[in-house]
Amino acid sequence: MSNPQQLRYSKEHEWLSAADDGVSTVGITEHAANALGDVVFVQLPEVGDSVSAGETCGELESTKSVSDLYSPVSGEVTEVNEDVVNDPSLVNSAPFEGGWLFKVRVTDEPGDLLSADEYTAFSAG
């Protein structure tokens, strides 16, 4: 599977887009989506919520398990993907596109986000 070059990645398997007017989009990677299996429920933060890098801000439920969703950055949530709330299978079918999770106005980000190549190596190991 290929991880888009223009994104950056956390070790908790979230991806983060480059900021557009200070706002970045967050999703989970294809690797994570495959590991979860069919995602059947997502609980996302609400618009206006403050999220903190490395802390939980929601959950992803699949057939067999429930996983915490971590925010890769700190900031304020500006938008959540209602499509994925209504159809969680988008996380599996289009993790880097229609299956994005939320947008965040970034105030701080940790220095340890990975490049696509670094993440590919990390998730393979």
Partner 1 sequence: MSSTPLRHTALDALHRSLGATMTDFAGWDMPLRYGSERDEHNAVRTRAGLFDLSHMGEITVTGPQAAALLDYALVGNIGGVKPGRARYTMICRADGGILDDLIVYRLAEAEAPEYMVVANASNAQVVLDALAERSAGFDAEVRDDRDAYALIAVQGPQSPAILKSLTDADLDGLKYYAGLPGTVAGVPALIARTGYTGEDGFELFVKPEHAVELWQALTKAGEGAGLVPCGLSCRDTLRLEAGMPLYGHELSTSLTPFDAGLGRVVKFEKDGDFVGREALREAAARAEQNPPRVLVGLVAEGRRVPRAGYAVVAGGEVIGEVTSGAPSPTLGKPIAMAYVDAAHAAPGTPGVGVDIRGSHEPYEVVALPFYKRQK
Stretch that binds partner 1, among 8-16, 35-43, 99-107, 116-124 (CB under 8 A): 35-43
The residue among 19 and 40 lying less far from partner 1, judged by its C-beta, is 40
Phi, psi of 99 (to 5 degrees): -95, 15
Sole residue written with tokens 């495959």? 34
Which residue of 64, 82, 108, 124 would you call a contact of partner 1, by CB under 8 A? 64
Q: Is 41 in the site for partner 1 (CB under 8 A)?
A: yes
The residue among 22 and 37 lying less far from partner 1, judged by its C-beta, is 37
Tell me the three-class secondary structure of 22-38, residue by residue.
CEEEEEECHHHHHHHCC
Buried-state track 97-107, b at ≥16 Cβ within 10 A, e below 16: eebbbbbbbbe
Q: Is 66 in the site for partner 1 (CB under 8 A)?
A: yes
The residue among 38 and 117 lying less far from partner 1, judged by its C-beta, is 38
